[in-house]
C-alpha cells in the first residue's frame, strides 16, 4: 500500500488540478497534485515538500478531507487529501502535462484518476 498526500490548493475560488504526463502511471488522468510520504515525514511535511518539488509553490495546509483507499490493477494507494491555501496562483510545471486553476463547479468535467474521484465528490458537497 503506497501512502500518498494530495493538496486541494485554493486561490480566488479556484482549485489547482494537474494532468498526469504520458510517461507517468495513469497517463493523462487528472489529479490533485501531491506525492508519496517519505520515511520519517508526517503528512503535512510530505505535502509541503511535494508541492514545492512539483510546482515550486509554498502552501498552507489546513483540514484533512476523507482519506481514500484504492486498488488499481498493479498497485494500491491510500490517498490523504488536504484543503490548502496558497499565497500566489503562480506555479512552475515540472512533471505534469498540464496544470490549471479550475472553478469547483467544473471539476466533474475532467477524466480523473479513480482514487481522486471520491475527493472530487467530497469537494462538490462542501
Q: What is the pLDDT of residue 59?
A: 96
Cell of 69: 483507499
Domain residue ranges in the chain:
2-125
Contact call for residues 49 and 112 (beta carbons, < 8 A):
no
Q: What is the pLDDT of residue 80?
A: 98
Q: What is the pLDDT of residue 81?
A: 98
Fold type of domain 2-125: Nucleoside Triphosphate Pyrophosphohydrolase (3.90.79)
**Nearest to 89, CA basis, from 3, 17, 1, 41:** 17
Per-residue pLDDT of the chain (126 residues), as tens digits, is: 999 999 999 999 999 999 999 999 999 999 999 999 999 999 999 999 999 999 999 999 999 999 999 999 999 999 999 999 998 899 999 999 999 999 999 999 999 999 999 999 999 999
Q: What is the pLDDT of residue 87?
A: 84
Q: What is the pLDDT of residue 88?
A: 87
Q: What is the pLDDT of residue 75?
A: 95
Type and span of the H or E element at 120:
helix 117-125
Amino acid at each position: 500500500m503506497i501512502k500518498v498526500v494530495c493538496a486541494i490548493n485554493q486561490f480566488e475560488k479556484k482549485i489547482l488540478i494537474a494532468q498526469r504526463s504520458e510517461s507517468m502511471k495513469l497517463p493523462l488522468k487528472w489529479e490533485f497534485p501531491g506525492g508519496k510520504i517519505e520515511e520519517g515525514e508526517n503528512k503535512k511535511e510530505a505535502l509541503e515538500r511535494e508541492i514545492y518539488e512539483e510546482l515550486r509553490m509554498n502552501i498552507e495546509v489546513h483540514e484533512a478531507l476523507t482519506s481514500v483507499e484504492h486498488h488499481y490493477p498493479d498497485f494500491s494507494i491510500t490517498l490523504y487529501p488536504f484543503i490548502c491555501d496558497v499565497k500566489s496562483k503562480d506555479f512552475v510545471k515540472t512533471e505534469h502535462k498540464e496544470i490549471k486553476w479550475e472553478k469547483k463547479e467544473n471539476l466533474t468535467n475532467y477524466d480523473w484518476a479513480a482514487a481522486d474521484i471520491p475527493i472530487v465528490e467530497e469537494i462538490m458537497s462542501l
